[in-house]
Amino acid sequence: MSEALPAPLTSEQMRSGIPAVDRYLDTGYATVPGMSSRFAAAVCCGLLRIQHELEVAGPVVEIGPFEGRFFIALAHALQKGEIALGIDLFDWPNPEVKDRFEANCAKHGVPAERRIVWKADSRTMTPAELLAKLGGKPARFIHIDGEHSRAALTKDLELATAALSPEGIIVLDDMLHPGYPTLMVAVQDYLGRHPEMCVLCIIDRETVVAATKFVLCRTEWFKRYEEKLLEAYKANVWPLGADFEPHWCLVLSLDTRLAKIT
């Protein structure tokens, strides 16, 4: 008789393995306005912990941090000497959103010296400008949650790839969301242009609002990251995985059941 698989962890049970991150996820995350998934935040910060274990270092970037819910989690995963950069137009729903972002960061323990807030348009930014803002250091982790159009995602992906370290990770928000069906087209086109990149894993949706994320890395780093993810989150691995034809990757989900045949 085959061994029963462990029950998947709930969103509230998920941990990054970084005490400061997990305290924030438990006590502060839901209080900061935003739509980001707690489940995805735990996994993404778990990836930042895994990077540290693999001796991958460097700054962290978020394009589109809004009021800071996800950004604060990333900032709590920083190692000594690292910084987090938040890039946003900070014009929606009003210009005061930048002040609320700064206040949320301060309230939840992200000091000014650990963060850079850049009011800018990533769609017109050059890689040289982004790298200069990072002090010339390529990013180890870039979360893209900017304008949800095919053209904007294409620009953000190219920008992120040019500013990413060889060991780095790119995370894309709101993939497979019913409201933004063309984002997947932009990703497929990108993977065709960049055969050196692949999808490391899919982080399944928590709700329709807190939607799916794609995690990308360079192909030569795929196995190292995959092994660590399996070790950390084996209870939340959906058994069939994702087929990117011919590449397969992990699917991490709160619901790991297979469809019943009736």
In sequence order, what are the residues at sequence separation of 6 or more whose Cβ sits closer than 8 angstroms to the Cβ of residue 172? 144, 153, 157, 183, 187, 213, 214, 215, 216
Phi, psi of 13 (to 5 degrees): -85, -15
Helix (H, G, I), strand (E, B) or coil at 254: coil
Angle between helices 19-27 and 38-53 (to 10 degrees): 170
Q: How many domains, in total, are found in the chain?
A: 1
Asked if the structure places residue 260 within a domain, the reply is no
Q: What is the mean pLDDT of the chain?
A: 96
259 vs 180, residue with greater confidence: 180
Q: What is the pLDDT of residues 106-159, one digit of tens each?
A: 999 999 999 999 999 999 999 999 999 999 999 999 999 999 999 999 999 999
Asked if the structure places residue 236 within a domain, the reply is yes
Residue 1 is predicted with a pLDDT of 40
Tell me which residue has tokens 């930048």: 98
Compute and round to an integer the Cα radius of gyration of the chain: 18
Helix (H, G, I), strand (E, B) or coil at 242: strand
Asked if the structure places residue 11 within a domain, the reply is no
Question: pLDDT tier at 260 (50, 70, 90 boundaries)?
Answer: confident
Q: Is the pTM of this model over 0.85?
A: yes
| Integer Cα distance of 1 and 52 in angstroms | 39
Asked if the structure places residue 190 within a domain, the reply is yes
Q: Which domain holds residue 233?
A: 19-252
Asked if the structure places residue 257 within a domain, the reply is no
Beta strands in 13-114 (DSSP E): 60-63, 84-88
Asked if the structure places residue 235 within a domain, the reply is yes
Asked if the structure places residue 3 within a domain, the reply is no
CATH classification at residue 118: 3.40.50.150
| Integer Cα distance of 81 and 157 in angstroms | 26
Residue 209 is predicted with a pLDDT of 87
Residues 88-110 have a mean pLDDT of 97
Q: Which two tokens stand for residue 58?
A: 């460097």
Q: How far apart are the first and last CA of the chain?
A: 24
Asked if the structure places residue 7 within a domain, the reply is no
- 163 closest CA partner among 118, 105, 110: 118
Q: What is the pLDDT of residues 206-252, one digit of tens each?
A: 998 899 999 999 999 999 999 999 999 999 999 999 999 889 999 99
Beta strands in the chain (DSSP E): 60-63, 84-88, 115-119, 139-144, 164-175, 197-203, 212-218, 242-243, 248-252
Could you tell me where the DSSP H helices lie in 78-146? Answer: 97-107, 127-133
Residue 4 is predicted with a pLDDT of 63
